[in-house]
Amino acid sequence: MSHDLDRRTFLAGLGGIGLGTLLPAREVGAQTSAPSTQPNQGLPVPAGTEYRKPDRPVTCVIIGHGNRGSYYGSMTKQMPDDWKVVGVAEPIGYRNEAAVKRHGIPEDVRFDTWERVFDREKFADVCVISTPDDLHYGPAMAALERGYDLLLEKPIAMTWQQCKDIHGLARKRSAIVGVCHVLRYAPYFVQLREVIASGMIGDVVSIQHLEPIEQIHMSHSFVRGIWRNTKIALPIILAKSCHDLDLLCWFIDKRCTRVSALGSLTWFRKENAPSGAPKMCLDGCPVEKTCAYYAPKVYVTEKLFGTGHIVTEDRSDKGILEALKTSPFGRCVYQTDNDQPDHFVSTMEFEGGATAAFSMEALTSYGGRRTRVMGTKGDVVGDERTLDVFLFAPRKRITWDVTKATADDLGGHGGGDTRLVRNLTQAVARRDLSPLSTDLGRSMESHLIGFQAEASRLAKGQPMVVDLARELSV
């Protein structure tokens, strides 16, 4: 856990998490040695950890070959010396078949459900757990019992007690567990964190952080999709925003002491359904031409969102359209069984008095997290692309643009997805947690804050204590 490490080790191991590993040296160098006309001049360069080619590829079995699982699997192409998929568990036939074909998986290690993986002896280094939220706990515990390391999708598990169980077993087994808080590996967030950790803006006094989900994304994931209801997914503050809580903990680098939250589901409700709207968009909706969320428009004619979650083997427009007749993604957004809030504001206090105000907003036309960090000697304003750093005493402004700082294609989650897997393979090959910015211990704090924030929201904003040391007895 971050708090078990002294600050120096923390910065060496985390602040520079893998940037040396992750970005070719010339790119990191470009940030330090850029001529004075370059907009990124003057910002501290995150220290990197040296990339060491493993003796053999780290092998994994993917549990849940859906969107995330197949993405992690696809990284074998980018890192054939480091990462190899040797087994799969996936109940949906065409997704299972896709894994088998892509990775040449033999029949005896191809399973239709996660339980079967553990009927046999350990046959890979890592279990990738990329099943839906309510199916993390079972496979994570079984995998740790069998001696696997984990690449564990966030959120860790459905309850705080389950998170503690997984954490306890991982510690007992000395397992390497990378939690997929991928943003910690994205060059933009690594740079923002480095600005703060370097002390150039002094001590952090407060942070304002906004996560604009974007209305179509909200309708897809948290109204129609697998995270729409807290019976099958975690509350949105964890299902979506555990990334943001984790970033705030990483930036402030002190323990959170209390949290309070407010929020509700305002718009995607039955009473807001247009008059005469059927439950499924394709059942003759009278407002199909004017509705912002008409499913065929979202997924086929205007392609406003990806179709990866829509289960159908026929991936053509025709196939998707056919699937929308019965798929949850074809439902009227005002008439599903959703209960996730579409606005959620929370405030946190950290040891020493720093505060953070966090807003998750569904009804935005834009995505991209906005962050304002107020320090004693300067401030930072960021929008997931640029950082605008202002230093009070010299009255100096430095603007840094992530697209100018990295030469490679950033890819999923601002480059975080690829870099997480690369760093996990380094950690597993070396039996050393330090390449991982997001090992399980570090991820527990954001989860505790999330569970307490939801408890506070349900108690109409009553402040809740966050005491990780007591919870984990460390």
CB of 452 to ligand NAD, least distance (A): 20
Q: Residue 131 interacts with ligand NAD (CB under 6 A)?
A: yes
Give the tokens for residue 363: 């009804």
Nearest residue (CB) to ligand NAD, 118 versus 400? 118
Point out which span in 84-92, 261-269, 274-282, 341-349 binds ligand NAD (CB under 6 A).
84-92
**Residues 445, 449: Cα–Cα separation, whole Å:** 6
Q: Which residues inside 292-311 make contact with ligand NAD, applying CB under 6 A?
A: 309
> What's the 3-state SS for 317-372?
HHHHHHHCCCCHHHECCCCCCCCCCCEEEEEEEEHHHCEEEEEEECCCCCCCCEEE
Q: Residue 64 interacts with ligand NAD (CB under 6 A)?
A: yes
How distant is the alpha carbon of residue 424 from its chain centre? 15
Nearest residue (CB) to ligand NAD, 22 versus 182? 182
Q: Residue 218 interacts with ligand NAD (CB under 6 A)?
A: no
The answer for residues whose C-beta is within 8 angstroms of residue 184's C-beta and 6 or more apart is 17, 190, 193, 246, 247, 250, 416, 420, 437, 438
Give the tokens for residue 105: 């998986």
Nearest residue (CB) to ligand NAD, 161 versus 174? 161
* From 12, 34, 79, 92, residue interacting with ligand NAD (rule: CB under 6 A): 92
Q: Residue 153 interacts with ligand NAD (CB under 6 A)?
A: yes
CB of 134 to ligand NAD, least distance (A): 8
Long-range pairs, 71-80, Cβ under 8 A, ≥24: 71/412, 71/417, 72/128, 72/130, 72/151, 72/417, 72/421, 73/99, 73/102, 73/103, 73/128, 74/102, 75/417, 75/418, 75/421, 75/422, 76/103, 78/418, 79/421, 79/422, 79/425
Nearest residue (CB) to ligand NAD, 246 versus 379? 246
Q: Residue 184 interacts with ligand NAD (CB under 6 A)?
A: no
Q: Residue 180 interacts with ligand NAD (CB under 6 A)?
A: yes
Q: Residue 89 interacts with ligand NAD (CB under 6 A)?
A: yes
Q: Residue 95 interacts with ligand NAD (CB under 6 A)?
A: yes
Q: What phi and psi values does residue 469 have, to the nearest 5 degrees?
A: -60, -45
CB of 230 to ligand NAD, least distance (A): 13
**Residues 158, 309: Cα–Cα separation, whole Å:** 21
Q: From the DSSP assignment, how many helices (H) and strands (E) are in the chain?
A: 18, 15
* From 132, 274, 286, 306, residue interacting with ligand NAD (rule: CB under 6 A): 132
CB of 416 to ligand NAD, least distance (A): 8
The DSSP secondary structure of 44-58, one letter per residue, reads: PPPPP------SSPE
Site string for ligand NAD, 230-269 (x = CB under 6 A): ---------x------------------------------
Q: Which residue is nearest to ligand NAD (CB)?
A: 66
Of 56, 55, 119, which Cα lies nearest the Cα of 87?
A: 119
Nearest residue (CB) to ligand NAD, 30 versus 180? 180
* From 91, 93, 168, 306, residue interacting with ligand NAD (rule: CB under 6 A): 91
How distant is the alpha carbon of residue 124 from its chain centre? 24
Point out which span in 132-140, 162-170, 431-439, 455-463 binds ligand NAD (CB under 6 A).
132-140
Amino acid (1-letter code) at residue 446 = S
Give the tokens for residue 224: 């129609």
CA angle 39, 355, 366 (to 5 degrees): 55
* From 2, 49, 130, 215, residue interacting with ligand NAD (rule: CB under 6 A): 130
Point out which span in 61-69, 273-281, 403-411, 454-462 binds ligand NAD (CB under 6 A).
61-69
**Residues 16, 8: Cα–Cα separation, whole Å:** 12
**Residues 213, 305: Cα–Cα separation, whole Å:** 13
* From 18, 20, 57, 66, residue interacting with ligand NAD (rule: CB under 6 A): 66
* From 75, 150, 182, 249, residue interacting with ligand NAD (rule: CB under 6 A): 182
Q: Residue 447 interacts with ligand NAD (CB under 6 A)?
A: no
Point out which span in 101-109, 127-135, 318-326, 452-460 binds ligand NAD (CB under 6 A).
127-135
* From 84, 103, 154, 220, residue interacting with ligand NAD (rule: CB under 6 A): 154
CB of 464 to ligand NAD, least distance (A): 23
**Residues 148, 131: Cα–Cα separation, whole Å:** 17
> Which H/E stretch holds residue 190?
helix 187-197
Q: Residue 441 interacts with ligand NAD (CB under 6 A)?
A: no
Give the tokens for residue 471: 């919870």
Greatest CA separation found in the chain? 66
Total residues contacting ligand NAD by CB under 6 A comes to 27
Q: Would you tell me which residues interact with ligand NAD (CB under 6 A)?
A: 63-69, 89-92, 95, 113-114, 130-133, 135, 153-154, 180, 182, 226, 239, 309, 413
